[in-house]
Amino acid sequence: MDFGYAAEDEAFRLEVRAWLDEYAKDAQDRRGWERVLGKAGWIGLGWAEDGYGNRRASLTQQVVWAEEYARSGAPARSGHIGEKLLAPTLIAHGSEEQKARFLPAVAAGDELWCQGYSEPGAGSDLAGVRTKAELGADGNYWITGQKIWTSLAHEADWCFVLARTDPESSRHHGLTFLLVPMDQPGRVEVRPIRQMTGTSDFNEVFFDGARARAEHVVGGEGGGWRVAMSLLGFERGVSTLAQQVGFAQELGRVVRAAVETGAVGDPVVRERLVRQWAELRVMGWNALRTLGRSGDAGAPSVAKLLWGGWHQRLGELAVLVRGAAGGVGPQEWSAAAPYELDEAQQLFLFSRADTIYGGSDQVQRTIIAERVLGLPREPKGVV
């Protein structure tokens, strides 16, 4: 993809590539890898403020970093929730003390974060949050309730939690955004959820009188909805471009598998492969078109709709091109490892979630209908 890189950006690319060549191959332990990245200053590129241990980098250089990272085959980041969601939120809404306390630890890869929004009765309808937080006489908030689908909670040191501080309130009023330490035995319990891939990437999180310090409220008591929505709106442009480098690699592997199995001889399969390729190009151009532009209400929803469905269809193709072999695991069944999946099967099963998280397809379509096309608002059910 031609992004029009200047000479200094290409020099930056060589620096990034050399560093990743040297270090990424040893990145087995994901937590240790975050610290290696942090020590070299690669976390927090392009935060709207520097001086917290992060490096300055232009938008183009952030794209270069993300592209090279995807190409290097380095592990999926476990620090991305802190770096890409919490940090920009603190920069926009946090106090100076909050920034000084939390940003350097994110940039160093020392503290990992998870996102405590969804609850059993509040997913797409996030304003239905029922987890409670009460300000005690000791100046701390005491939190009780349950979150669900909390990615990486089993690795995280901190969780940002949307909780109801005004018991009389309803919907998006009376909610507060709290920074909660996870290491509170007996008060914070993380229960992994086993997925159909056999792995556990997300969790249920139970708060039973968990403590958050009053100075760790972001945006003031009752100001949680504004902070929570602002966090969801952070520009995903740069990471979308990087994601597409990964998508291109996955598509390349599916095409090679189709050639090896002979599935490519089927004109319907060929047409689907070419369609995936063409749609990936369109996504790339769309990402470049909207990069760095704010205020385009529909852009994030359009991007999410495009890539979620695309990736899911790629997962279906990955298994389809392998014929009957696509349904057989890579290992003999054994009680010790009953659930071995190969890469294509993992892609197929994981990508079922792509049209749900980060706002489901139906919700994205409603956003586009109401905020971009100006169609009448969706009728709300009477309860």
Ligand X SMILES: Cc1cc2nc3c(=O)[nH]c(=O)nc-3n(C[C@H](O)[C@H](O)[C@H](O)COP(=O)(O)OP(=O)(O)OC[C@H]3O[C@@H](n4cnc5c(N)ncnc54)[C@H](O)[C@@H]3O)c2cc1C
Residues with catalytic roles: 235
Q: To which residue do tokens 């952070």 refer?
A: 234
Among 248, 356, 369, 372, binds ligand X (CB under 6 A): 356
Q: Which of 244, 241, 254 is nearest to 343 (CA)?
A: 254
Among 62, 118, 131, 276, binds ligand X (CB under 6 A): 118
Q: Closest separation between CB of residue 147 and ligand X, Å?
A: 6
Helix extents (H) in 24-140: 30-39, 59-72, 80, 87-93, 96-107
Smallest distance from the beta carbon of 245 to ligand X, in angstroms?
21
Chain residues 164-223 in contact with ligand X, contact rule CB under 6 A: 202
Shortest Cβ contact with ligand X: which residue? 123
> Which residue, 60 or 355, is less far from ligand X as judged by CB?
355
Q: Rounded to the nearest whole angstrom, what is the least distance from the CB of residue 8 to ligand X in the complex? A: 37
192 SS3 class: strand
124 to 153: interface string for ligand X, x by CB under 6 A: xx-----------------------xxx--
Cβ-contact 345, 195 below 8 angstroms: no
Please return the burial class of 21, using the count of CB atoms within 10 Å of its CB with bins 0-12, 13-18 and 19+. Answer: exposed
The one-letter code for the residue type at 325 is: A
132 — alpha (psi -120 to 50), left (phi > 0) or beta?
Answer: beta
**Residue 346 within binding range of ligand X, rule CB under 6 A:** no
Q: Choose between 59 and 363: whose C-beta lies nearer to ligand X.
A: 363
Residue 240, C-beta contacts closer than 8 angstroms, at least 6 positions apart: 283, 287, 303, 307
Q: How far is the CB of 89 from ligand X (least distance, A)?
A: 14
357-376 footprint of ligand X as x/- string (CB under 6 A): x--x-xx--x----------
Smallest gap, in angstroms, from Cβ of residue 270 to ligand X? 31
Q: Which is nearer to ligand X, 74 or 85 (CB)?
A: 85
- Strands 113-116 and 158-164, by their bridges, are parallel
Interacting residues toward ligand X by CB under 6 A: 114-115, 117-118, 123-125, 149-151, 202, 353, 356-357, 360, 362-363, 366
